[in-house]
Amino acid sequence: MVIAIHGGAGTILRSSMTAELQQQYEQGLDHALLAGYSILQKGGSSIDAVESAVASLEDFAMFNAGKGSVFNNAGKHEMDASIMCGKTLDAGAVSAVSNVKNPVRLARAIMQHSEHVMLFGGGAEVFAKQYNIDFEDDEYFYNEFRYNQWQEALKEDRVQMDHSDKKFGTVGAVALDKEGNLAASTSTGGMTNKKFGRVGDSPIIGAGTYANNNTCAISCTGHGELFIRSVVAYDISCLMEYKGLSLKAACDIVVYDKLVKIGGEGGLVAIDKEGNIELPFNSEGMYRASIDADGNKTIKIYKD
């Protein structure tokens, strides 16, 4: 049983963090980690574990997903999420939904109850209502910090990442259960002040999320456009399957070489079928946490 989660990567500097803030982030990660791990401990599936871990991150207002989602150009919250089962290769994804409390639960419902993989916008919301997915009003998603971020971005007419200091706000989880099944999930509130219905890598199977019992489970966070063009999550799986690389070697090539060459800042969490964990990122920091096969828990933010 292994689980790893992230709360986004980017320019996360000790100098702009207080002890109190850091503790809150770590508590949020710890809470989500245990939400997933407790399911694995009870013999539950990896797909249930990643769904619960991501839902917990979505409920935590300090990460850019679910409740903590940033404002888009129209002053709305448009969220994306995806989930994939490594055993069946079933997948569900949702893009640009508003007022859905936990987009990951909608992605899961699409995976289980729809003949489709990806639904977007108002259509996805109609589907959500048919499957009793929880909705919340705009107030639930409001927070002053996000609002001020948006007002600033509006003034300067720019699209910005989660934090003014360039953070890629995304959350995600990967897990391996007792049965040896891998799963992955990713969720995001997108970019502050984003326009034109921009879709990043988070809801794209193969780019932001991928799981396959033959290789690995991956959830990404980073500069979405470059992650889409690099098909990052599936690239790691292919390097393992077709080139025989280890999870670490595959992650190193993709995150520290291929992505760096095209300016693709970010990182990912990864677990392979043997339960190895990799949490690589080429940015200053990445909110990340994991529990390995021996039960050792790690929660980290910075490079060291």
Catalytic residues: 170
- Return all residues near 15 (Cβ < 8 A) that are at least 6 apart: none
Residues 100 and 92: their CA atoms lie apart, in Å, by 15
202 and 120 Cβ atoms separated by less than 8 Å:
no
Residues 236 and 71: their CA atoms lie apart, in Å, by 32
- State in angstroms the smallest separation of the CB of 75 from a second copy: 14
- State in angstroms the smallest separation of the CB of 238 from a second copy: 4
Nearer Cβ to a second copy, position 122 or 180? 122
267 and 283 Cβ atoms separated by less than 8 Å:
yes
- State in angstroms the smallest separation of the CB of 293 from a second copy: 28
Residues 3 and 183: their CA atoms lie apart, in Å, by 10
79 and 65 Cβ atoms separated by less than 8 Å:
yes
Nearer Cβ to a second copy, position 75 or 122? 122
- State in angstroms the smallest separation of the CB of 45 from a second copy: 18
Other CB atoms closer than 10 Å to residue 215's CB: what's the count? 24
Residues 112 and 102: their CA atoms lie apart, in Å, by 16
User: DSSP secondary-structure letter at 68?
Assistant: G
Nearer Cβ to a second copy, position 139 or 244? 244
60 and 28 Cβ atoms separated by less than 8 Å:
yes
**DSSP per-residue codes, 121-186:** HHHHHHHHHHTT--B--HHHH--HHHHHHHHHHHHTT--B-SSTTTEE--EEEEEE-TTS-EEEEE
Nearer Cβ to a second copy, position 13 or 262? 262
For residue 80, the SS3 value is: strand
- State in angstroms the smallest separation of the CB of 182 from a second copy: 14
Nearer Cβ to a second copy, position 60 or 127? 127
For residue 208, which of 229, 180, 239 has the smallest C-alpha distance?
229
Nearer Cβ to a second copy, position 234 or 281? 234
For 11, 16, 24, 57, 163, the CA distances from 20, given in Å and listed in that order, are 19, 12, 6, 18, 18
Q: Which chain residues interact with a second copy by CB under 8 A?
A: 84, 89-91, 95-96, 114-124, 126-127, 159, 195-200, 204-207, 210, 224-225, 228-231, 234-235, 238-239, 242-243, 262
- State in angstroms the smallest separation of the CB of 256 from a second copy: 18
